[in-house]
Amino acid sequence: MEKTVSIHIDGKKLNVQEGKNLLQAAKENNIDIPHLCYHRKLSPTGACRLCIVKINGQKGLIASCTVRAEEGMEVIAFDEELEEARRFILDYLLSEHDESSDGSYMDEFKELVVRYGLDDKKKRKYAPIWKYLGYPSDNSSPVLTYEAAKCIKCFRCIKACDEVQGKNVLSFTKRGIASYITGGFEKWGESECDGCGECIQLCPTGAIVEKPHRDQIMLHQDHKKVKTTCPYCGVGCQLELIVQNGKIVRADGVEGVSPNDGRLCVKGRFGYDYVSHPDRLKVPLIKKGGRFTEAGWDEALDLVAEKFSETIKKHGKRSLAGYASAKTTNEDNYLFMKFVRTVFGNNNVDYCTRLCHASTVTAMLRSLGDGAGSNSIEDYEKSDCILVTGNNMIETHPVTATYVKYAAQRRGARIIIIDPKWTPLVKDSHIWLQPRLGTDVALLNGMIRVIIREELIDRRFIEKRVEGGMKALEELKALTEKYTLEYVEEITGVPAEMMQEAARIYAGARRPLIATGMGYSQQLTGTHNVFCLINMMLITGQIGRKGAGLNPPRGQNNVQGVSDVGASPFTYPGYVPVGDDENRRKVAKIWNVPYRELDPEKGLSTVEIMQAAYRGEIRAMYIMGENPMLTDPNLNHTEEAIKKLDFLVVQDIFHTETTALADVVLPATSFAESEGTFVNSDRRVLRVRKAVDPPGQARQDWEIITDIAKRMGKPLGSYRDESEIWDEIARTSPIFAGISFSRLEKQGIQWPCPSKEHPGTPTLFEERFNTASGLAKLHPVDYAEQTEKADNEYPYILNTGRILYQYHSSTMSRRNVSLNQFANEAYVLMHPDDAKKQGLSNGDKVDISSRRGVIRSITVKISGEVLLGELFMPFHYSEAPVNRLTRDELDPYSKIAPFKLSAVKIVTGS
Q: Does 796-908 carry CATH code 2.40.40.20? A: yes
Task: Spell 672-707 as b/e; 16+ CB within 10 A means b.
Answer: bbbbbbbbbbbbbbbbbebbbebbeebbbbbebbbb
Q: Is 757 left (phi over 0), alpha (psi -120 to 50) or beta?
A: alpha
Contact predicate 198/260, CB 8 Å: no
909 pLDDT above the threshold of 70: no
pLDDT given at position 910: 53
Measure the CA–CA gap between 512 and 73, rounded to whole angstroms.
39
pLDDT given at position 357: 77
180 pLDDT above the threshold of 80: yes
Write down the domain spans for the chain.
Answer: 214-276, 285-356+558-750, 358-551, 796-908
Pseudo-torsion of CA 335, 339, 341, 344, nearest 10°? -170
Q: Which of 72-81, 281-290, 885-894 comes out lowest in average pLDDT? A: 885-894
- Indicate the pTM of the whole model: 0.96
Interval 734-774: pLDDT, tens: 999 999 999 999 999 999 999 999 999 999 999 999 999 99
Measure the CA–CA gap between 24 and 285, rounded to whole angstroms.
56
Interval 825-859: pLDDT, tens: 999 999 999 999 999 999 999 999 999 999 999 99
What average pLDDT score do residues 653-666 get? 97
Cα-based distances in Å from 183 to 137, 187, 332: 12, 6, 43
Measure the CA–CA gap between 671 and 692, rounded to whole angstroms.
10
The pair phi, psi for residue 468, each rounded to 5°, is 90, -10
- Tell how strand 620-624 and strand 320-323 pair up: parallel
Cα-based distances in Å from 619 to 322, 415, 641, 801: 11, 49, 10, 32
Count the neighbouring beta carbons within 10 Å of the beta carbon of residue 505: 18
Contacts of 334 (CB under 8 A, 6+ apart): 565, 566, 567, 573, 725, 728, 729
Q: Which of 253-267, 280-294, 623-637 comes out lowest in average pLDDT? A: 623-637
Name the band, by pLDDT with cuts 50, 70 and 90, for residue 134.
confident
Interval 46-63: pLDDT, tens: 999 999 999 999 999 999
Q: Which of 106-115, 358-367, 436-445, 776-785 comes out lowest in average pLDDT? A: 358-367
Name the band, by pLDDT with cuts 50, 70 and 90, for residue 522.
confident
pLDDT given at position 186: 82
Contacts of 423 (CB under 8 A, 6+ apart): 391, 392, 393, 394, 395, 417
Interval 796-805: pLDDT, tens: 999 999 999 9
What would be the CATH architecture of the domain defined by 214-276?
Single Sheet (2.20)
Which fold, 358-551? Dimethylsulfoxide Reductase; domain 2 (3.40.228)
205 pLDDT above the threshold of 60: yes
Q: Can you tell me whether residue 248 is helix, strand or coil?
A: strand
Measure the CA–CA gap between 666 and 704, rounded to whole angstroms.
8
Count the neighbouring beta carbons within 10 Å of the beta carbon of residue 801: 23
pLDDT given at position 891: 82
Q: Does 285-356+558-750 carry CATH code 3.30.2010.10? A: no
Contact predicate 863/573, CB 8 Å: no
